[in-house]
Amino acid sequence: MTNLPSPTMESEQFFDEEEEVPLEKDSPLHNLILLRTLQEIKAAVETIDVFTVPIPSRSANVVLSSLRAIVPTSLQHLRRLVKPCYIPDSLVDFLAVPTTPPEENILYLLVCPVTDISEENLRNFLQELPAFSTTGVVPRIMTVAVPSSQPISAVQATEWSAKYWPAVYKRGNPYGPHPSIVSQSLRALVDPEKHLRLAKQVATQAASSGEGLGFGAVIVDPQTGQILAAAGDARLRCKEKGWGNPLDHAAMRAIDMVAQRRLGRTQNVRPDNKVEVWDGKYLEDEEAPAKADTKADENSNTENEDKDGDADDRKDDGYLCHNLQVYLSHEPCVMCSMALLHSRVGAVAFGTRMTRTGALNAEEGGRQMGLFWRPELNWKFVCWQWKAEPGEEMKSHENVDA
Protein backbone atom coordinates (compact mmCIF):
# COMPACT_ATOMS: atom_id res chain seq x y z
CA MET A 1 0.00 0.00 0.00
CA THR A 2 2.69 2.41 0.97
CA ASN A 3 4.09 2.68 -2.53
CA LEU A 4 0.87 3.74 -4.12
CA PRO A 5 0.98 7.29 -5.35
CA SER A 6 -1.93 9.17 -3.94
CA PRO A 7 -4.29 10.11 -6.73
CA THR A 8 -5.38 13.21 -4.87
CA MET A 9 -2.05 14.94 -4.43
CA GLU A 10 -2.19 18.14 -6.37
CA SER A 11 1.36 19.34 -6.88
CA GLU A 12 3.28 16.14 -6.54
CA GLN A 13 6.69 16.24 -8.09
CA PHE A 14 7.62 13.61 -10.61
CA PHE A 15 11.12 13.12 -9.29
CA ASP A 16 13.35 13.82 -6.36
CA GLU A 17 15.28 17.03 -6.48
CA GLU A 18 19.02 16.58 -6.83
CA GLU A 19 21.11 18.16 -4.12
CA GLU A 20 24.05 18.63 -6.44
CA VAL A 21 26.36 21.55 -5.88
CA PRO A 22 27.08 22.78 -9.39
CA LEU A 23 30.65 23.25 -10.59
CA GLU A 24 31.96 26.78 -10.69
CA LYS A 25 31.39 28.44 -14.05
CA ASP A 26 35.02 28.53 -15.13
CA SER A 27 35.97 25.14 -13.75
CA PRO A 28 38.11 23.15 -16.20
CA LEU A 29 36.08 20.13 -15.14
CA HIS A 30 33.41 21.33 -17.56
CA ASN A 31 35.64 20.05 -20.32
CA LEU A 32 35.16 16.49 -19.11
CA ILE A 33 32.27 14.76 -20.83
CA LEU A 34 31.01 11.80 -18.85
CA LEU A 35 30.77 8.65 -20.94
CA ARG A 36 27.39 6.96 -20.89
CA THR A 37 27.37 3.24 -20.24
CA LEU A 38 26.01 0.71 -22.74
CA GLN A 39 23.00 0.06 -20.54
CA GLU A 40 22.31 3.76 -20.07
CA ILE A 41 22.25 4.23 -23.81
CA LYS A 42 19.94 1.27 -24.21
CA ALA A 43 17.69 2.47 -21.40
CA ALA A 44 17.38 5.84 -23.09
CA VAL A 45 15.82 4.41 -26.24
CA GLU A 46 13.95 1.21 -25.43
CA THR A 47 10.17 1.36 -25.07
CA ILE A 48 7.56 -1.22 -24.22
CA ASP A 49 3.83 -1.31 -25.03
CA VAL A 50 1.51 -1.06 -22.04
CA PHE A 51 -2.24 -0.92 -21.48
CA THR A 52 -3.81 2.18 -20.05
CA VAL A 53 -7.43 2.70 -19.10
CA PRO A 54 -9.29 5.70 -17.68
CA ILE A 55 -10.98 4.86 -14.38
CA PRO A 56 -13.12 6.86 -11.92
CA SER A 57 -10.68 8.39 -9.46
CA ARG A 58 -12.69 7.47 -6.39
CA SER A 59 -12.36 3.74 -7.16
CA ALA A 60 -8.67 3.99 -8.10
CA ASN A 61 -7.27 2.23 -5.06
CA VAL A 62 -9.82 -0.58 -5.24
CA VAL A 63 -9.07 -1.17 -8.92
CA LEU A 64 -5.34 -1.15 -8.23
CA SER A 65 -5.48 -3.69 -5.46
CA SER A 66 -7.83 -5.93 -7.41
CA LEU A 67 -5.49 -5.83 -10.39
CA ARG A 68 -2.64 -7.02 -8.24
CA ALA A 69 -4.32 -10.41 -8.14
CA ILE A 70 -4.08 -10.94 -11.89
CA VAL A 71 -1.05 -8.99 -13.15
CA PRO A 72 2.39 -8.58 -11.57
CA THR A 73 3.43 -5.11 -10.53
CA SER A 74 6.21 -3.85 -12.79
CA LEU A 75 7.36 -0.59 -14.33
CA GLN A 76 7.80 1.06 -10.98
CA HIS A 77 9.56 3.96 -12.66
CA LEU A 78 6.25 5.14 -14.13
CA ARG A 79 3.28 6.72 -12.41
CA ARG A 80 0.57 4.15 -11.96
CA LEU A 81 -2.27 6.70 -11.83
CA VAL A 82 -2.09 9.91 -13.80
CA LYS A 83 -4.39 12.88 -13.76
CA PRO A 84 -5.57 14.02 -17.19
CA CYS A 85 -3.57 17.25 -16.83
CA TYR A 86 -0.31 15.28 -16.57
CA ILE A 87 -0.87 13.20 -19.69
CA PRO A 88 1.85 14.19 -22.20
CA ASP A 89 0.65 16.42 -25.03
CA SER A 90 1.54 13.80 -27.61
CA LEU A 91 -1.00 11.39 -26.07
CA VAL A 92 -3.83 13.77 -25.31
CA ASP A 93 -5.65 13.24 -28.61
CA PHE A 94 -4.98 9.55 -28.78
CA LEU A 95 -6.21 8.92 -25.26
CA ALA A 96 -9.18 11.28 -25.78
CA VAL A 97 -8.32 13.09 -22.61
CA PRO A 98 -11.27 15.31 -21.67
CA THR A 99 -10.48 18.99 -22.00
CA THR A 100 -12.79 20.09 -19.23
CA PRO A 101 -12.97 18.19 -15.97
CA PRO A 102 -15.82 15.74 -16.22
CA GLU A 103 -18.41 15.55 -13.51
CA GLU A 104 -16.72 12.56 -12.08
CA ASN A 105 -12.95 12.89 -12.07
CA ILE A 106 -11.02 10.31 -13.96
CA LEU A 107 -7.46 9.02 -13.70
CA TYR A 108 -5.47 7.20 -16.32
CA LEU A 109 -4.34 3.86 -14.95
CA LEU A 110 -1.18 2.32 -16.32
CA VAL A 111 -2.13 -1.34 -16.14
CA CYS A 112 0.82 -3.48 -17.27
CA PRO A 113 2.86 -4.47 -20.32
CA VAL A 114 0.64 -5.88 -23.07
CA THR A 115 2.56 -9.14 -22.77
CA ASP A 116 1.26 -9.74 -19.24
CA ILE A 117 -2.43 -10.15 -20.11
CA SER A 118 -4.64 -10.16 -23.19
CA GLU A 119 -6.76 -7.11 -23.83
CA GLU A 120 -9.89 -9.28 -23.74
CA ASN A 121 -9.09 -10.81 -20.37
CA LEU A 122 -8.28 -7.40 -18.97
CA ARG A 123 -11.57 -5.97 -20.24
CA ASN A 124 -13.57 -8.83 -18.77
CA PHE A 125 -11.81 -8.48 -15.46
CA LEU A 126 -12.32 -4.72 -15.25
CA GLN A 127 -15.97 -4.96 -16.23
CA GLU A 128 -16.63 -7.17 -13.21
CA LEU A 129 -15.24 -4.54 -10.84
CA PRO A 130 -17.77 -2.22 -9.17
CA ALA A 131 -16.00 0.76 -10.75
CA PHE A 132 -17.43 -0.31 -14.09
CA SER A 133 -20.20 -2.78 -13.29
CA THR A 134 -22.28 -0.23 -11.37
CA THR A 135 -22.38 2.20 -14.29
CA GLY A 136 -22.19 -0.29 -17.13
CA VAL A 137 -19.46 1.75 -18.81
CA VAL A 138 -17.19 -0.35 -21.03
CA PRO A 139 -13.53 0.07 -20.01
CA ARG A 140 -11.69 2.00 -22.72
CA ILE A 141 -8.39 0.05 -22.92
CA MET A 142 -5.66 1.64 -25.00
CA THR A 143 -2.05 0.78 -25.77
CA VAL A 144 0.81 3.26 -25.40
CA ALA A 145 4.58 2.93 -25.67
CA VAL A 146 6.56 3.83 -22.54
CA PRO A 147 10.28 3.64 -21.58
CA SER A 148 11.00 0.08 -20.47
CA SER A 149 13.67 0.92 -17.92
CA GLN A 150 13.95 3.52 -15.23
CA PRO A 151 15.34 6.98 -15.91
CA ILE A 152 18.95 7.55 -14.91
CA SER A 153 18.59 11.20 -13.96
CA ALA A 154 16.04 13.79 -12.98
CA VAL A 155 16.53 15.45 -16.35
CA GLN A 156 15.69 12.27 -18.18
CA ALA A 157 12.61 11.71 -15.99
CA THR A 158 11.36 15.18 -16.92
CA GLU A 159 11.91 14.49 -20.61
CA TRP A 160 10.09 11.19 -20.43
CA SER A 161 7.24 12.70 -18.45
CA ALA A 162 6.69 15.19 -21.22
CA LYS A 163 7.10 12.69 -24.03
CA TYR A 164 5.87 9.24 -22.95
CA TRP A 165 4.33 8.97 -19.51
CA PRO A 166 4.96 10.65 -16.14
CA ALA A 167 8.14 9.00 -14.87
CA VAL A 168 9.64 8.74 -11.42
CA TYR A 169 13.32 9.29 -10.86
CA LYS A 170 14.46 7.38 -7.82
CA ARG A 171 17.85 8.64 -6.83
CA GLY A 172 20.37 6.21 -8.09
CA ASN A 173 21.31 4.63 -11.36
CA PRO A 174 21.06 0.92 -12.00
CA TYR A 175 22.71 1.23 -15.40
CA GLY A 176 25.80 3.18 -14.57
CA PRO A 177 27.63 5.09 -11.87
CA HIS A 178 25.38 6.68 -9.25
CA PRO A 179 25.24 10.46 -9.76
CA SER A 180 26.92 11.05 -6.42
CA ILE A 181 29.79 8.72 -7.38
CA VAL A 182 30.19 10.61 -10.62
CA SER A 183 30.35 13.97 -8.94
CA GLN A 184 32.66 12.69 -6.19
CA SER A 185 34.99 11.10 -8.75
CA LEU A 186 34.94 14.22 -10.87
CA ARG A 187 35.91 16.46 -7.97
CA ALA A 188 38.54 13.96 -6.85
CA LEU A 189 40.36 14.14 -10.18
CA VAL A 190 43.83 15.55 -9.62
CA ASP A 191 44.33 18.40 -12.08
CA PRO A 192 42.98 16.53 -15.11
CA GLU A 193 43.98 19.30 -17.48
CA LYS A 194 47.63 19.08 -16.49
CA HIS A 195 47.75 15.30 -16.52
CA LEU A 196 46.01 15.02 -19.87
CA ARG A 197 48.52 17.55 -21.20
CA LEU A 198 51.29 15.38 -19.82
CA ALA A 199 49.76 12.30 -21.48
CA LYS A 200 49.83 14.18 -24.77
CA GLN A 201 53.41 15.27 -24.16
CA VAL A 202 54.60 11.70 -23.65
CA ALA A 203 52.58 10.73 -26.73
CA THR A 204 54.35 13.34 -28.82
CA GLN A 205 57.66 12.31 -27.36
CA ALA A 206 57.00 8.62 -28.20
CA ALA A 207 56.21 9.50 -31.79
CA SER A 208 59.13 11.87 -32.30
CA SER A 209 61.63 9.44 -30.80
CA GLY A 210 60.46 6.80 -33.24
CA GLU A 211 59.97 4.34 -30.40
CA GLY A 212 56.22 4.21 -30.73
CA LEU A 213 53.05 5.78 -32.02
CA GLY A 214 51.74 9.06 -30.66
CA PHE A 215 49.81 7.65 -27.70
CA GLY A 216 50.46 8.44 -24.04
CA ALA A 217 49.27 7.43 -20.56
CA VAL A 218 49.65 8.92 -17.07
CA ILE A 219 48.69 7.29 -13.78
CA VAL A 220 48.10 9.43 -10.70
CA ASP A 221 47.53 8.48 -7.07
CA PRO A 222 44.59 10.59 -5.85
CA GLN A 223 45.63 10.12 -2.22
CA THR A 224 48.94 11.89 -2.68
CA GLY A 225 48.48 13.69 -5.98
CA GLN A 226 51.65 11.99 -7.10
CA ILE A 227 52.28 10.86 -10.67
CA LEU A 228 53.10 7.15 -10.41
CA ALA A 229 53.70 6.55 -14.10
CA ALA A 230 53.80 8.30 -17.44
CA ALA A 231 54.43 6.23 -20.53
CA GLY A 232 54.34 6.66 -24.25
CA ASP A 233 53.56 3.95 -26.72
CA ALA A 234 56.69 1.86 -27.44
CA ARG A 235 55.61 -0.75 -29.94
CA LEU A 236 58.22 0.33 -32.48
CA ARG A 237 61.14 0.22 -30.09
CA CYS A 238 63.49 -2.26 -31.68
CA LYS A 239 66.31 -2.69 -29.19
CA GLU A 240 69.08 -4.95 -30.46
CA LYS A 241 66.70 -7.53 -31.94
CA GLY A 242 65.40 -5.50 -34.83
CA TRP A 243 61.73 -5.71 -33.95
CA GLY A 244 59.39 -4.20 -31.42
CA ASN A 245 56.66 -5.56 -29.17
CA PRO A 246 53.28 -4.79 -30.75
CA LEU A 247 51.69 -4.90 -27.31
CA ASP A 248 53.80 -2.18 -25.73
CA HIS A 249 50.91 0.26 -25.65
CA ALA A 250 51.05 3.34 -23.46
CA ALA A 251 48.46 2.16 -20.91
CA MET A 252 50.04 -1.30 -20.58
CA ARG A 253 53.43 0.27 -19.99
CA ALA A 254 52.08 2.71 -17.44
CA ILE A 255 50.44 -0.15 -15.53
CA ASP A 256 53.77 -2.03 -15.60
CA MET A 257 55.52 1.06 -14.24
CA VAL A 258 53.18 1.31 -11.28
CA ALA A 259 53.78 -2.36 -10.51
CA GLN A 260 57.55 -1.92 -10.83
CA ARG A 261 57.46 0.94 -8.33
CA ARG A 262 55.64 -1.25 -5.87
CA LEU A 263 57.77 -4.29 -6.50
CA GLY A 264 61.03 -2.49 -5.83
CA ARG A 265 64.27 -3.14 -7.65
CA THR A 266 64.92 -6.69 -6.54
CA GLN A 267 62.38 -8.16 -8.92
CA ASN A 268 61.16 -7.35 -12.40
CA VAL A 269 57.53 -7.04 -13.39
CA ARG A 270 58.43 -8.35 -16.83
CA PRO A 271 61.51 -10.55 -16.60
CA ASP A 272 61.91 -10.55 -20.37
CA ASN A 273 61.25 -6.92 -20.93
CA LYS A 274 62.68 -4.32 -18.62
CA VAL A 275 60.20 -1.84 -17.21
CA GLU A 276 61.35 1.70 -16.69
CA VAL A 277 59.99 3.85 -13.93
CA TRP A 278 58.64 7.32 -14.53
CA ASP A 279 61.39 9.83 -13.87
CA GLY A 280 59.32 12.99 -13.86
CA LYS A 281 61.28 14.80 -16.52
CA TYR A 282 58.25 16.34 -18.17
CA LEU A 283 57.46 18.15 -14.99
CA GLU A 284 60.44 20.46 -14.98
CA ASP A 285 58.38 23.44 -15.99
CA GLU A 286 55.26 22.53 -14.12
CA GLU A 287 54.41 23.29 -10.56
CA ALA A 288 54.67 19.61 -9.81
CA PRO A 289 53.88 18.21 -6.39
CA ALA A 290 57.26 18.58 -4.70
CA LYS A 291 58.06 14.94 -4.34
CA ALA A 292 61.76 14.30 -3.94
CA ASP A 293 61.55 10.89 -5.53
CA THR A 294 60.66 12.09 -9.02
CA LYS A 295 64.35 12.67 -9.60
CA ALA A 296 65.86 9.95 -7.51
CA ASP A 297 64.90 6.89 -9.48
CA GLU A 298 66.50 7.77 -12.78
CA ASN A 299 68.80 4.80 -13.02
CA SER A 300 67.45 2.08 -10.89
CA ASN A 301 63.87 1.03 -10.82
CA THR A 302 62.80 2.09 -7.40
CA GLU A 303 65.83 3.04 -5.38
CA ASN A 304 63.97 5.56 -3.32
CA GLU A 305 61.00 3.39 -2.57
CA ASP A 306 62.94 1.37 -0.07
CA LYS A 307 64.18 4.49 1.66
CA ASP A 308 61.02 6.42 2.24
CA GLY A 309 58.70 3.47 2.31
CA ASP A 310 56.78 4.94 -0.58
CA ALA A 311 56.30 1.59 -2.23
CA ASP A 312 53.99 0.48 0.49
CA ASP A 313 52.40 3.73 1.51
CA ARG A 314 49.02 2.61 0.32
CA LYS A 315 48.88 -0.50 2.47
CA ASP A 316 45.61 -2.33 1.82
CA ASP A 317 44.83 -0.09 -1.07
CA GLY A 318 48.12 -0.88 -2.79
CA TYR A 319 46.60 -3.76 -4.73
CA LEU A 320 47.44 -3.39 -8.40
CA CYS A 321 46.26 0.06 -9.51
CA HIS A 322 43.34 0.06 -7.13
CA ASN A 323 41.37 3.33 -7.46
CA LEU A 324 44.18 5.18 -9.20
CA GLN A 325 43.40 7.80 -11.85
CA VAL A 326 44.43 7.27 -15.43
CA TYR A 327 44.85 10.01 -18.05
CA LEU A 328 45.24 8.95 -21.67
CA SER A 329 45.91 10.93 -24.82
CA HIS A 330 43.62 8.58 -26.75
CA GLU A 331 40.78 6.16 -26.09
CA PRO A 332 42.44 2.80 -25.36
CA CYS A 333 42.01 -0.43 -27.33
CA VAL A 334 40.26 -3.57 -26.04
CA MET A 335 43.45 -4.97 -24.53
CA CYS A 336 44.34 -1.78 -22.68
CA SER A 337 40.78 -1.11 -21.54
CA MET A 338 40.53 -4.58 -20.06
CA ALA A 339 44.00 -4.18 -18.54
CA LEU A 340 42.71 -1.07 -16.74
CA LEU A 341 39.76 -3.08 -15.44
CA HIS A 342 42.00 -5.93 -14.31
CA SER A 343 44.15 -3.34 -12.55
CA ARG A 344 41.07 -1.92 -10.84
CA VAL A 345 41.65 1.70 -11.63
CA GLY A 346 39.12 4.17 -10.25
CA ALA A 347 38.72 6.77 -12.97
CA VAL A 348 39.84 7.30 -16.55
CA ALA A 349 39.88 10.42 -18.71
CA PHE A 350 41.03 10.34 -22.31
CA GLY A 351 41.55 12.92 -25.03
CA THR A 352 40.85 11.70 -28.54
CA ARG A 353 38.09 9.19 -29.19
CA MET A 354 39.20 6.24 -31.35
CA THR A 355 36.07 5.39 -33.29
CA ARG A 356 37.47 2.27 -34.98
CA THR A 357 39.51 0.75 -32.17
CA GLY A 358 38.50 2.36 -28.87
CA ALA A 359 36.79 0.05 -26.38
CA LEU A 360 35.53 2.48 -23.74
CA ASN A 361 32.97 4.59 -25.56
CA ALA A 362 29.53 3.01 -25.88
CA GLU A 363 27.98 5.68 -28.08
CA GLU A 364 27.09 5.27 -31.73
CA GLY A 365 29.77 6.00 -34.27
CA GLY A 366 32.30 3.70 -32.66
CA ARG A 367 32.68 0.13 -31.51
CA GLN A 368 30.10 0.71 -28.75
CA MET A 369 31.81 -1.69 -26.36
CA GLY A 370 31.56 0.47 -23.23
CA LEU A 371 34.05 -1.74 -21.38
CA PHE A 372 34.41 0.70 -18.49
CA TRP A 373 31.00 -0.21 -17.09
CA ARG A 374 29.49 -3.53 -18.04
CA PRO A 375 27.33 -5.58 -15.69
CA GLU A 376 29.08 -8.84 -16.63
CA LEU A 377 32.50 -7.63 -15.52
CA ASN A 378 33.49 -7.47 -11.86
CA TRP A 379 35.14 -4.06 -11.93
CA LYS A 380 33.87 -0.76 -13.24
CA PHE A 381 35.22 2.75 -13.36
CA VAL A 382 33.96 6.22 -14.19
CA CYS A 383 35.15 7.51 -17.53
CA TRP A 384 35.29 10.89 -19.27
CA GLN A 385 36.43 12.30 -22.54
CA TRP A 386 38.20 15.65 -22.42
CA LYS A 387 36.59 18.06 -24.82
CA ALA A 388 39.45 19.44 -26.86
CA GLU A 389 39.55 23.07 -27.84
CA PRO A 390 39.52 23.63 -31.61
CA GLY A 391 42.96 22.73 -32.97
CA GLU A 392 43.89 21.00 -29.74
CA GLU A 393 42.69 17.56 -30.83
CA MET A 394 45.57 15.15 -31.40
CA LYS A 395 45.86 13.62 -34.82
CA SER A 396 45.45 9.89 -34.45
CA HIS A 397 46.17 6.73 -36.35
CA GLU A 398 42.49 5.96 -36.53
CA ASN A 399 42.78 2.32 -37.57
CA VAL A 400 45.36 1.50 -34.93
CA ASP A 401 44.75 0.08 -31.46
CA ALA A 402 45.85 2.74 -28.98
Partner 1 sequence: MQSALQIATSALQSNEVPVGCVFVHDSRIIASGRNDTNRSLCGTRHAELVAIDKILTTYPPSIFKETDLYVTVEPCIMCASALRQVGIRKVYFGCSNDRFGGCGGVLKVHEGDGTMDVSGNKIGAGGTGGYEVFGGIYSSSAVVKLREFYVQENGRAPVATSKKGRELKTDNLPVDVDVL
C-alpha triplet 215, 221, 224: angle, nearest 5°: 140
47 phi and psi angles, rounded to 5 deg: -120, 165
DSSP string, 208-224: HHTSS-S-EEEEEETTT
**Quick check: 36 binds Zn ion (CB under 5 A)?**
no
**Quick check: 336 binds Zn ion (CB under 5 A)?**
yes
**Quick check: 272 binds partner 1 (CB under 8 A)?**
yes
CA 210 remoteness from chain centre: 36
**Quick check: 48 binds partner 1 (CB under 8 A)?**
no
**Quick check: 104 binds partner 1 (CB under 8 A)?**
no
Q: How far is the CB of 46 from partner 1 (least distance, A)?
A: 13
CB-nearer residue toward partner 1: 185 or 201: 185
Question: Which helix (DSSP H) or strand (DSSP E) does residue 41 occupy?
Answer: helix 38-43
CB-nearer residue toward partner 1: 193 or 398: 398
CA 338 remoteness from chain centre: 16
371 binds, among Zn ion, partner 1, none (CB under 5 to 8 A by kind): partner 1
Stretch that binds Zn ion, among 158-166, 244-252, 261-269, 354-362 (CB under 5 A): 244-252
Name beta bridge partners: 350: 328, 385
Query: In a 3-state reduction of DSSP, which class is residue 4?
Result: coil
| Interatomic CA distance for residues 117 and 112, integer angstroms | 8
**Quick check: 334 binds partner 1 (CB under 8 A)?**
yes
Q: 352-371 mask for partner 1 (x: CB under 8 A)? A: ----xx-x------xxxx-x
**Quick check: 341 binds Zn ion (CB under 5 A)?**
no
What beta strand segments (E) does 9-100 contain? Answer: 32-34, 47-56, 81-82
**Quick check: 180 binds partner 1 (CB under 8 A)?**
no
Among 85, 378, 390, 391, binds partner 1 (CB under 8 A): 378
Among 43, 63, 144, 333, binds Zn ion (CB under 5 A): 333
Name beta bridge partners: 229: 219
243 binds, among Zn ion, partner 1, none (CB under 5 to 8 A by kind): partner 1
Other Cβ atoms less than 10 A from the Cβ of 301: the count is 20
**Quick check: 321 binds partner 1 (CB under 8 A)?**
yes
**Cβ atoms of residues 367 and 356 within 8 Å:** yes
CA-nearest of 70, 67, 93 to 81 is 67
CB-nearer residue toward partner 1: 241 or 395: 241
The site for partner 1 (CB under 8 A) is made up of 241-247, 252, 255-256, 258-259, 262-263, 267, 269-273, 316-322, 333-335, 338-339, 342-344, 356-357, 359, 366-369, 371, 376-380, 399, 401
